[in-house]
Structure 1
């Protein structure tokens, strides 16, 4: 922690990039005081922090892209007990009116923090959930690569010369991979048949390697997910995959989401009014984290099929005239409430009590 210099209250903003960050300082009325560029290194982060506190007591720092380009700086500022708020990149209309440059964006971020427009607390990126996020990225990449390899394997089987194609036709995916692993092409690959055998074997080896990688990462993910959110995993219909996604969405500090309604909005499960005239209804939200929304949807689908309480609820709401889409919307909102309370009970630092 760094002691701030006594003096006037100021607000700061940072426009983040890959190699440099541009910082700006404004007074409480939003009037510019100074701006400066710093490198994205440990020394650069510390120099930026030292530079900020020379202007007085920093009330808040608005930082763009706290989950990507600004993640390192956000960690340093938070460790110094500075209030960091996440600032959205200026929209196209604002950029068209005011122009675009690093100082302009930095001052805009500082004014957003000073005016109170920016209030979102960024994720901490310092705990088990951040490790979980990184492993999920590696697993998703491996799954995508395996799917691509499988599609290529099937495509080569279709175009392979006879009788190779006939020997591989009608096999399941697992049997096809195992059969291709046993292929023995000749050393001379000028023949289309031998080239096809070689290509099929290489793709099968890649699929086997990626499958082993996916299984290994999945095992680590299951352990981390159960450790980070035991109460979440215990909920009906919540597996380690959906629990992992919801944990990543909330972050290591779910207490930053002050209410369960805020968490529902983050997951795109908050009802959006769609009333007009004599019509009084709500619709599904198209905003929020779509992967978290998908996780809630999968939980709702599982409960609609296997949970007696949910099945009774669906039957009752169907008799009341609600469509299946509206029923799922209601279920996702209920599930978001349960998930939020499970997350906040898991993290003692939360100030929100679960009911």
Structure 2
């Protein structure tokens, strides 16, 4: 084993049922390796084995987002410095072959060389809950799309009697009407069988739509409670905000700079110059879900935000293509998102506004007319669902100026 002066670096190759742990010194000498079960008792044995050779500098773990997720949580809880390690180099594998001990030693050597490592997500807070909920939403949306495609396929070859019933309706309205239908009769009859099948598909569509709505409501509730500032960014809703939070993780401090976030989200400019051409192109790497979210923000701003439209017009006049303009806008949005995530501001609660208004004997309509807005806008402010902070502050100031009701 190692002498007292040397420090230990560990590498772990993770699998579904077992984890292989390898130990090396801080100057690269192999100390030993062992296999452990991927269960609670195995995690405790791994923690004990890591310290058996001396003080541990860092632990490199493969697959901290999959097979090694729970192990990384346990080791971080025990006070170890955990580093996420990329999969072994393919060139090295072709030269030296592959085995669990070799992969574990390569993980430790990557940490020693500070090559292909990163700080893993902790996956122990509300962001992990968002990630799981997003998984449910994504699968439900895929299933709902498949149902609509199947309904169209059935109608293509259905009898004219069936097709005439749903002709001219949109896909959503058609599915709703099918779910509400009540076919009856002999199932060996083609028309009856077709109508029954369409009813079941329509009911499935309704169920999946409700599941998606419930999941989005849960996402909005979590984001509003834990990271309301991100919802104030122009073009960001609950679904996009949840993805951006998942990209950052429960430990946003691992994102050391806005350039690092831009690279992770795949919006960092990539040089594409050649000869007399000097330009950049869109990145094709990074987290594609985060990239898609930022792209959607840009599209919203290009259609609704005056400043963004003015920027697009200016850049177009300078000869830039639409793709190049979008690339620039995505980079600007990434910078704004990083600033909000790293410097979250507290949002003043609004649950005191409704009791204050009622205590003064004022109606929603009266307050809305005084502020030049709609009663529904005031209602949303009082329920905490509005992101219009300017109107909220005006409403609060107006209420504080009103004379109190005397009994």
TM-score of the aligned structures, taking structure 2 as reference length: 0.81
2:6 matches 1:8: yes
Residue 313 of structure 1 corresponds to 311
Q: Distance in 2 between matches of 1:36 and 1:187?
A: 67
Tell me which of the two structures has the higher relative contact order, counting C-alpha pairs closer than 8 angstroms and 6 or more residues apart: 1
The correspondence for 1:337, drawn from 319, 335, 338, is 335
How many angstroms does 1:150 deviate by? Answer: 1.3
The answer (yes or no) to whether the contact 1:254–1:347 under 8 Å persists in 2 is: no
The superposition leaves residues 293-343 of structure 1 with CA deviations (integer Å, 9 ceiling, x where unpaired) of: 111111111112211111222222222222111111111111101101111
User: In the alignment, which residue of structure 1 is the partner of 2:129?
Assistant: 131
Q: d(CA) in 1 for partners of 2:155 and 2:104?
A: 56
Q: Report how far residue 60 of structure 1 moved.
A: 0.7
Equivalent position SS for 1:15: strand
Deviation at 1:177, TM superposition (A): 2.0
Query: Number of aligned pairs?
Result: 344
**Aligned-pair distance for 1:80?**
1.4
Q: Tell me, yes or no, if the aligned pair for 2:179 and 2:206 is still in contact at 8 Å.
A: no
1:94 correspondence with 2:85:
no
1:230 to 219, 228, 245: 228
- Structure 1 outlier segments of 4+, above 6 Å: none
Aligned to 2:386: none
Q: Which residue of 2 aligns with 1:44?
A: 42
Kindly state the Cα deviation for residue 39 of structure 1 after the two structures are TM-superposed.
0.9
- Give the distance between the partners of 1:181 and 1:236, measured in 2 at CA: 37
List per-residue Cα deviations over 1:270-293 (Å, max 9, x = no partner): 111222333222111110001101
Q: In 2, distance between residues paired with 1:277 and 1:177? A: 56
Superposition deviation, residue 264 in structure 1 = 0.4
Q: Secondary structure at the match of 2:20?
A: strand
Query: Matched residue of 1:216: which SS?
Result: helix
2:193 equivalent in structure 1: 195
Which of structures 1 and 2 has the bigger CA Rg?
Answer: 2
**2:382 — aligned with what?**
none
User: What is the TM-score when the length of structure 1 is the normalising length?
Assistant: 0.93
Q: Which runs of 5+ in 2 are unaligned?
A: 347-407
Name which of 242, 245, 268 aligns with 2:243: 245
**What secondary structure, in the 3-state scheme, does the structure 1 residue paired with 2:214 have?**
helix
CA distance in 1, matches of 2:246, 2:57: 28
Match of 1:276 in 2: 274
When structure 1 is superposed on structure 2, of 258-267 and 204-213 the one drifting more is: 204-213
Deviation at 1:95, TM superposition (A): 1.1
1:77: Cα distance to partner? 0.8
In structure 2, the residue matched to 1:179 is 177
Q: How many angstroms apart in 1 are the aligned matches of 2:325 and 2:280?
A: 11
